[in-house]
């Protein structure tokens, strides 16, 4: 699917456009791509124009919602197919997403993109072949590309998450010139497809699974054994678990992960909000 290139509206941006119209301003300057860039819109009485296309002024928009132009109206970036999935704006520009109201990326203290950049730095991706097990919105992949990765293979199981990526300007496009052919994105369940990856063929790993209660198979000894198999000796793995001090359902998940990774053949330690491990 090609990436969306039209305007992205949030309630504050829509209100700013309406305020510019009401003030009879001929032009409004700001970001219509969630902070990726700034540009100008030409203001008219009954419509506004951006990048050569006219758009109607939006009605009152909801908070915590991002809207895209859907041929004849601004529609929220959300879908329901058994679960409600939604792209959610943040104060940092780069959005997060929610599944049934559960926020999937940390945003309370910094941009989810900056959070990804700090974690990616732990595996030192420059010049390496990286496996990204649970691609999500692609922030790990984007930071790897930015850091000079040789190639990165991302897997994402959820088709609706892949759809969100096509609407999010912060998500890397595998087909874009900026990716340089270095990003491969596969719609698949990595817990099943990892068996097809060759032994010791990966230089570094990023593992950002959903929480344990949703995707327990991605925390299993069997899966960690597979991670150890595909990673070369000396290769690094960062495994997101959530806050190291937080007990989940009475279990200390970060410590459990650390022990299982050790059993699989890693030297592991708690780091940031996850576990950093090196293949022995």
- The mean pLDDT of 158-187, rounded to a whole number, is 96
Compute the distance between CA of residue 207 and CA of residue 238 in angstroms, rounded to an integer.
6
- The mean pLDDT of 131-145, rounded to a whole number, is 98
Give the 3-state secondary structure of residue 55.
strand
Question: What are 39-84's pLDDT values in tens digits?
Answer: 999 999 999 999 999 999 998 999 999 999 998 899 999 999 888 9
Question: What are 233-276's pLDDT values in tens digits?
Answer: 999 999 999 874 555 457 889 999 999 999 999 999 999 999 99
Residues 6+ apart with CB under 8 A from 42: 26, 27, 48, 49, 50
Among 134, 122, 141, 225, CA closest to 180 = 141
Report yes or no: 219 and 252 within 8 Å, Cβ to Cβ.
no
pTM for the whole thing? 0.94
Give the 3-state secondary structure of residue 127.
coil
Q: Percentage of the chain surpassing pLDDT 90?
A: 87
Question: What are 82-123's pLDDT values in tens digits?
Answer: 889 999 999 999 999 999 998 889 888 999 999 999 999 999
């Amino acid at each position: 699917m090609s990436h969306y290139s039209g305007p992205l509206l949030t309630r504050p941006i829509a209100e700013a456009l309406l305020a510019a119209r009401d003030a009879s301003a001929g032009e409004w300057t700001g970001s219509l791509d969630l902070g990726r860039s700034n540009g100008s819109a030409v203001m008219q009485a009954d419509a506004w124009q951006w990048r050569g296309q006219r758009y109607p002024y939006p009605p009152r928009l909801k908070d915590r919602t991002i809207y895209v132009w859907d041929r004849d109206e601004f529609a929220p970036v959300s879908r329901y197919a058994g679960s409600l999935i939604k792209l959610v704006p943040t104060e940092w520009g780069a959005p997060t997403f929610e599944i049934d109201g559960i926020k999937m990326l940390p945003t309370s203290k910094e941009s989810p993109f900056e959070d990804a950049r700090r974690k990616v730095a732990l595996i030192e991706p420059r010049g390496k072949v990286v496996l990204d097990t649970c691609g999500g919105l692609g922030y790990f992949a984007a930071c790897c590309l930015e850091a000079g990765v040789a190639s990165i293979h991302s897997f994402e199981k959820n088709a609706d998450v892949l759809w969100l990526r096509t609407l999010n300007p912060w998500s890397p496009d595998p087909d874009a010139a900026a990716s340089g052919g270095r990003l491969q994105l596969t719609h698949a369940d990595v817990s099943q497809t990892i068996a097809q990856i060759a032994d010791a063929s990966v230089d570094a790993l990023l593992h950002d699974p959903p929480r344990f209660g949703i995707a327990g198979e991605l925390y299993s000894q069997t899966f960690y054994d597979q991670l150890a198999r595909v990673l070369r000796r000396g290769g690094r793995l960062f495994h997101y678990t959530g806050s190291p001090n937080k007990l989940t359902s009475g279990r200390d998940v970060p410590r459990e992960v650390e022990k299982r990774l050790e059993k699989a053949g890693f030297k592991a330690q708690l780091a940031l909000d996850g576990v950093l491990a090196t293949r022995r």
